[in-house]
A and B are shown apart, each in its own frame.
Chain A
Amino acid sequence: AQSVTQLGSHVSVSEGALVLLRCNYSSSVPPYLFWYVQYPNQGLQLLLKYTSAATLVKGINGFEAEFKKSETSFHLTKPSAHMSDAAEYFCAVRVGTGGFKTIFGAGTRLFVKA
């Protein structure tokens, strides 16, 4: 069964520092992977998605993620954190069964210190 695992329920960085949020996937077929962001009291917004066209995927707000098949990873990075990046981030995989549902990781809450 396809699944994603996010390492670290909380990550804290200083403003201007590198952001690295980890996600590993488990899949017997090429996965379609997504990162969503959830700001406090808001819905889920797509940051970026991997669809096998390119292993390095650029998303909104300066985020990017690299698909590494050898490591079964899809880590999310941003070179320089901004206070507005403080939110919950979810790695997700779209599962190709009848309903094509999205399976979410447990989420990583990002804190940005001034």
Chain B
Amino acid sequence: EPEVTQTPSHQVTQMGQEVILRCVPISNHLYFYWYRQILGQKVEFLVSFYNNEISEKSEIFDDQFSVERPDGSNFTLKIRSTKLEDSAMYFCASSPYRESYNEQFFGPGTRLTVL
């Protein structure tokens, strides 16, 4: 069964460094998302992406964040200058359609630790 994959599974970085989190959505999906989950807290929406542009972003998704679909398969989240509070689990998700009754398929997550 097709699934969303994410690399790396765990990333450790120093504060102020740039990180790129990678995701490979399910191949025929058109809508892509990033969410994050700070330890012990709820899963929060960051950004949605369709047709090579951001369709919606949350207040969390400030100028230090960016997303890109550099080729036909990868979807990346870049954090330009990491802060301690960026430490979280980051989930990528994809969906074949926009309609609300379709669930999003989530990847296993990347645990980002900022020291």
Contacts and interface: CB of A to CB of B under 8 A. Distances in A.
Interface of B: 31, 33, 35, 41-45, 47-48, 50, 55-58, 91, 93, 95, 98-109
Contacts of A45: 106
B66 to A, nearest CB: 16
B43 A104 contact: yes
Contact of A101 (B41, B42, B48, B99): B48
* B contacts with A: majority SS: strand
Contacts of A34: 103
Contact of A100 (B42, B100, B105, B108): B100
Interface band, chain A = 20 to 34
Given A43-B91, A100-B48, 5 more contacts: A43-B109, A95-B100, A100-B100, A102-B104, A106-B41
B109 to A, nearest CB: 5
